[in-house]
Amino acid sequence: MITRDEFTLIDKEIKDILQKTLDELKATSLHNYIIYLADGEYKPEYENSNVISNPFVIDNRIDHYKDLTRFDFLVNFLKNYYNFPSVQAQTDDNNYRISMELMIYCHVWESKPFLKKLFRLAHISNGEEYNWNIVVPDMSKHDFIRNDIRATLQAKGNNLAEIIKKGFHTSLRNAFAHSEYSIDTINGNRRIWLDTYTGKTWDIQEISFDDWSKRFVYTALLSYHLLNITHLNRLNLISDLKTDIFIIKHPNKDGSISDREIQYRDQDDSFNFVI
C-alpha cells in the first residue's frame, strides 16, 4: 500500500532530480547534453556499409521502438492503478495488481534501452565524454546497475543514486525474474516471500506490501520520468537555446574526433547532420 501523498512526494523527488541533472549537464557540457538528447549510438552493422559512411549515428530510434511496448504498458498501468481519484487516498493490496507490478519491475530493470539511457546520463553528468557504444550484459545486470550506474552517480553526489537504491534490489529482481516468490496473505499477513534467499548480509527473505509498494513506485516513476523528461527537454531545445544548430564531438571510423554540426527539426522531432 502507498498513500496519495507518498506517491506525490516520490513523483516530485524523481522529476526534480532528473531535471536538475539535465540542467547541470546543459550548463557544464552542452555538447554532451545535445548528443544525449539526440540519441547518439554506435551501430556495428554500419562498419562495412557502402551506404552509411560512419557507424556513429544520431537520432537512433531503434531503442525507442524496441522499448515502446513496455513503456506504453507501464504508462497505462500507472494511469489505471495510481491515478488516485478523489475518493481514494491509498492503493489497495490486491494480489492481481501486485503480481502485475512484479512483472513490470523485472521489465524495467531488464530493459537494455532504459539501462543504456541511465548509464549515459550517469557518466556524462560525472564529467565524462558521451559513450556511443554501450553493451548492457545479458547476465549479471545487478553489477551493471550497482557498479556502473549507481556508484558513478554516488561518486558525483547525484541523488539519482539514492533513487535507484530506493527502487532496485538484486534479491527482488532475482526472485521475480525466476518465479521464486510467493505472496502471503494468510492470517492477515501482507508480505512477499523470496525463495531465492541465501542468508547473505545483503540478501532479503521477505518484503512487506508497504515496502514493496515504495520500491515499485520508485522504479516505475524513474523509468517513466527518465524517458519523458528527456523527451520534453528535446522538444523544448530550440526555444530553450534559441537555435536549431548545435556542434557535437563526433567520432570517426579511425578513432579521431571531429566537430560536427547537427540540426534539430521540431516539426518532426528529428536530428540530422548538417552537410
Nearest to 94 by CA among 219, 183, 204, 32: 183
Residue the block writes with cell 491509498? 90
Q: State the helix-helix crossing angle for 112-124 and 209-235, rounded to 10 degrees.
A: 70
Non-local CB neighbours of 112 within 8 Å, separated by 6+ positions: 63, 66, 136
Beta bridge mates, 90: 3
pLDDT in tens, the chain (275 residues): 899 999 999 999 999 999 999 999 999 999 999 999 999 999 999 988 888 889 999 999 899 899 999 999 999 999 999 998 878 899 888 899 999 999 999 999 999 999 999 999 999 999 999 999 999 999 889 999 999 999 999 999 999 999 999 999 999 999 998 999 999 999 889 999 999 999 999 999 999 999 999 999 999 999 999 999 999 999 999 999 999 999 999 999 888 999 999 999 999 999 999 97
What letter represents residue 64's amino acid?
H
pTM of the model: 0.95
CA distance 63 to 116: 9
